[in-house]
Chains A and B, each alone.
Chain A
Amino acid sequence: EAGVAQSPRYKIIEKRQSVAFWCNPISGHATLYWYQQILGQGPKLLIQFQNNGVVDDSQLPKDRFSAERLKGVDSTLKIQPAKLEDSAVYLCASSLMKNTEAFFGQGTRLTVV
C-alpha cells in the first residue's frame, strides 16, 4: 500500500514570497490533516478535512495560510506572504475516517530567509 506522498521535500524562499505544498493521501482515506512542526516541537494541527469539507481550521492563520482539497483527494497548502516564523516542517496525514489512525507523509521542510 502506497503511503502519503508530499512534495516538494524541501523549499527555501525569501520572506514575503508565496509557497505551496502538495499532498496525495492514501487511496480511500476520507480524512486529511495538515500539521506544522517547528524544530524541537511536536506537530500542531493547522487544518483537518473530511472528504472535501473543512472540519477544523481553528489554528490556521487565515490571513496568510490557505488550504483546499478539491474532489476530496489531493490537497494543497499555501502560504502568502511567508514570514520567518513559518520555517518548519509541514506534515500531511490521512486516515480512513474520523477517529481512526492517521498515517503521516515525510513532510516538506520550509526555510524562510
Chain B
Amino acid sequence: QKEVEQDPGPLSVPEGAIVSLNCTYSNSAFQYFMWYRQYSRKGPELLMYTYSSGNKEDGRFTAQVDKSSKYISLFIRDSQPSDSATYLCAMSVGGGADGLTFGKGTHLIIQP
C-alpha cells in the first residue's frame, strides 16, 4: 500500500459545478496536509495548508481533514475553466515543505 493514494482521473465536470477531490493515506504520523495546483508545464503552487483535523476555507476552496479516517478532501465551489489543472495532495509530519509526500495528482477538467 502506497503512503498516499489519489485517483489520477481525469475528472471532467461542467462549469459552475462543485468539485470534490480526495486523498487517503496510511501514515498516522502525518500532521500537516496540503493541496497544490499544477498547471500543464508549470511547477506546483500551494493552494491550501491545514494542520491536523478540521476544515479550512479560502474563497471558493475548502479543505477538510479527517485524521480518524486518514482521509482528506478539497472542495471547489462555482468551478471555472481556469480551475482546470492537476491537483496534488501532499502531507508531512513536521510541517512546511520538509518531508513532503505527494499523491499522484488528479487531473481536473472544467468544461465551459
Asked if residues A33 and B41 are in contact (CB atoms below 8 Å), the reply is no
Asked if residues B96 and A42 are in contact (CB atoms below 8 Å), the reply is no
8 Å CB contact of B46 from A31, A40, A101, A107: A101
Residues of B within 8 A of A4 (CB): 43
B8 located at the interface, meaning its Cβ lies under 8 Å from any Cβ of chain A in the complex = yes
Residues of A within 8 A of B4 (CB): 42
Evaluate whether A102 and B41 lie within 8 angstroms (CB atoms) in the complex, with A40-B8, A42-B105 already known: no
B60 located at the interface, meaning its Cβ lies under 8 Å from any Cβ of chain A in the complex = no
Evaluate whether A102 and B96 lie within 8 angstroms (CB atoms) in the complex, with A40-B104, A42-B90, A42-B103 already known: yes
Q: Chain B, 82-104, contact with A by CB distance < 8 Å: what is the 0/1 string?
A: 00000010100011111110111
Within the complex, what minimum Cβ distance (angstroms) separates A81 from chain B?
Answer: 27
Which residue of chain A is the closest to B45 with respect to CB atoms?
A104
Asked if residues A42 and B104 are in contact (CB atoms below 8 Å), the reply is yes
Asked if residues A42 and B43 are in contact (CB atoms below 8 Å), the reply is no
How far, in angstroms, from A87 to B4 measured CA to CA in the complex? 23
8 Å CB contact of B43 from A31, A56, A91, A95: A91
8 Å CB contact of B95 from A91, A99, A105: A99
Chain B interfacial positions (CB closer than 8 Å to A)? 4, 6, 8, 41-46, 49, 88, 90, 94-100, 102-105
Q: Which 7 A-B pairs have the closest CB atoms?
A: A42-B102, A104-B43, A102-B97, A99-B96, A99-B95, A100-B96, A95-B97
